[in-house]
């Protein structure tokens, strides 16, 4: 658009009102008796013709390059990389949790159905959220609990705590994450409350997930939650296992491995998980890089919040 003298004056007027005075396009349209389409066209022309320039001032340790690499390589909806240089594991986890909480607050809208996993990092995200969030959201537990994990990490406790912040009733799974046999699982799924929670899996719009690393047992819920023992872990590693999401074990390509616990899980299925539009994983630490990369390669998650150490290791592999 090559502006005439009159158009240039109007273009500059609109630009000043929008960029300097902070008026919205609707407010400018009302003030100048123009349509919103005309305002948008003038603002676009101001950029294209060089009357307005946009300069992004990135902080010294803003890892936008790593974010773009992750998004492009794995086809992610979004990657958020917090700085993990010269910080403790706990501080890095808190930074990622804060970033994930802010992202979650931005994308959540009235009517969303939010599923939640379990684990230390997921707990940190919940802890970072405001005590009251004024959005109409349903909160759903994605996997059963375990008496062997710390109370605050238990999936039922986390789900209830998250639901409290939305002032809604949680949809819980009153069952362990894995049971002794498939027949026990089938019997539990006949329970009306468990059946009601399972019925919501198909309505999920957002899932908040953690990632466990099989190479480092202390980061795997399978091990510290008592779903597998050291012998089982060794066998899974021999099959090429690198990590788990919701206790479903996968290899470096993200393919779910058949394991003894698969038909005993009280949890959303992998196929149901893949149907959730926003699958947000929060995981930090260079030791988890291989596990995170596997989850990304398999499409188990499409939004990643991590730190620069893990992101750098993934991108350089």
Cα 79 to Cα 64, 71, 96, 306: the distances in Å are 9, 6, 11, 8
Cα–Cα distance, 150 to 144 (Å, whole number)? 14
What pLDDT is attached to residue 162?
97
Question: CATH fold of 64-316, please?
Answer: Rossmann fold (3.40.50)
Cα–Cα distance, 192 to 262 (Å, whole number)? 23
Tell me the pLDDT tens digit for each residue of 56-69: 655 557 899 999 99
If you average pLDDT over every residue of the chain, what do you get? 88
Q: Are strands 241-245 and 212-213 parallel, antiparallel or unpaired?
A: antiparallel
**Helix (H) / strand (E) containing 26:** helix 25-32
Q: What is the mean pLDDT of residues 165-179?
A: 91
**Helix (H) / strand (E) containing 139:** strand 138-141
- 40 pLDDT higher than 80: yes
- 269 pLDDT higher than 90: yes
Local confidence band at 203 (pLDDT 50, 70, 90 cut-offs):
very high
Is the Cβ–Cβ distance between 109 and 82 less than 8 Å? no
What pLDDT is attached to residue 1?
44
Q: What is the mean pLDDT of residues 26-30?
A: 92
What pLDDT is attached to residue 235?
85
Q: Is the model more confident about 215 or about 16?
A: 16
As beta bridge partners, residue 244 has: 212, 249
3-state secondary structure (DSSP) of residue 189: coil
Local confidence band at 2 (pLDDT 50, 70, 90 cut-offs):
very low
Cα atoms found within 13 Å of the Cα of residue 245, Cβ hemisphere only: 34
Residue from 286, 247, 268, 19 nearest 119 by CA:
247
What pLDDT is attached to residue 285?
94
Q: Which stretch of 39-43, 103-107, 260-264, 285-289 has the lowest confidence by average pLDDT?
A: 260-264
Residue 97 in tokens: 């949790």
- 212 pLDDT higher than 70: yes
Topology agreement, domain 5-48 and domain 64-316: no
The rounded percent of the chain whose pLDDT value lies above 70 is 89
Is the Cβ–Cβ distance between 206 and 105 less than 8 Å? no
- Residue 77: partners with Cβ closer than 8 Å, 6 or more residues away: 71, 278, 302, 303
Cα–Cα distance, 248 to 264 (Å, whole number)? 11
Cα–Cα distance, 126 to 166 (Å, whole number)? 12
Local confidence band at 155 (pLDDT 50, 70, 90 cut-offs):
confident
Q: What is the spatial order of strands in the sheet that 241-245 belongs to? A: 212-213, 241-245, 248-251
Tell me the pLDDT tens digit for each residue of 69-94: 999 999 999 999 999 988 899 999 99
Phi, psi of 184 (to 5 degrees): -65, -40
**pTM for this structure?**
0.79
Residues recorded for the chain: 317
Q: Which runs of consecutive H residues, i.e. helices, occur in 215-276?
A: 221-224, 230-238, 270-274
Is the Cβ–Cβ distance between 279 and 302 less than 8 Å? yes
Rg of the Cα atoms in the chain = 23
Is the Cβ–Cβ distance between 210 and 300 less than 8 Å? no
Virtual CA dihedral for 191, 193, 194, 198, nearest 10 degrees?
130
Domains in the chain: boundaries: 5-48, 64-316
Question: CATH fold of 5-48, please?
Answer: Arc Repressor Mutant, subunit A (1.10.10)
Tell me the pLDDT tens digit for each residue of 113-131: 999 998 889 999 999 998 8
Tell me the pLDDT tens digit for each residue of 292-311: 999 999 999 999 999 999 99
């Amino acid at each position: 658009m090559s502006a005439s003298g009159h158009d240039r004056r109007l273009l500059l007027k609109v630009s000043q009102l929008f960029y300097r005075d902070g008026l919205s396009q609707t407010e400018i349209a009302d003030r100048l008796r123009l349509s919103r389409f005309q305002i948008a066209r003038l603002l676009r022309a101001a950029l294209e013709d060089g009357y307005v320039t946009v300069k992004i001032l990135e902080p010294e340790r803003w890892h936008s390059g790593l974010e773009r690499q992750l998004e492009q390589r794995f086809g992610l909806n979004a990657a958020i990389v917090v700085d993990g240089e010269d910080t403790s594991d706990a501080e890095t986890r808190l930074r990622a949790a804060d970033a994930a909480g802010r992202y979650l607050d931005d994308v959540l809208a009235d009517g969303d159905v939010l599923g939640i996993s379990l684990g230390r990092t997921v707990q940190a995200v919940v802890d970072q959220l405001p005590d009251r969030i004024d959005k109409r959201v349903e909160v759903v537990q994605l996997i059963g609990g375990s008496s062997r994990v710390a109370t605050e990490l238990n999936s039922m406790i986390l789900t209830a705590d998250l639901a409290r912040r939305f002032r809604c009733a949680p949809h819980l799974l009153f069952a362990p994450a894995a049971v002794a046999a498939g027949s026990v699982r089938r019997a539990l799924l006949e329970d009306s409350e468990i059946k009601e929670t399972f019925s919501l899996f198909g309505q999920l719009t957002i899932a908040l997930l953690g990632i466990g690393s099989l190479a480092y047992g202390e980061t795997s819920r399978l091990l510290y939650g008592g779903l597998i023992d050291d012998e089982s872990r060794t066998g899974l590693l021999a099959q090429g296992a690198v990590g788990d999401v919701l206790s479903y074990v996968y290899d470096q390509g993200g393919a779910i491995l058949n394991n003894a616990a698969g038909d005993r899980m009280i949890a959303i299925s992998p196929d149901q998980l893949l149907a959730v539009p926003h699958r947000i994983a929060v995981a930090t630490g260079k030791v988890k890089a291989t596990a995170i990369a596997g989850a990304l390669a398999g499409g188990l998650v499409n939004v990643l919040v991590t730190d620069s150490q893990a992101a750098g290791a993934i991108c350089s592999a």
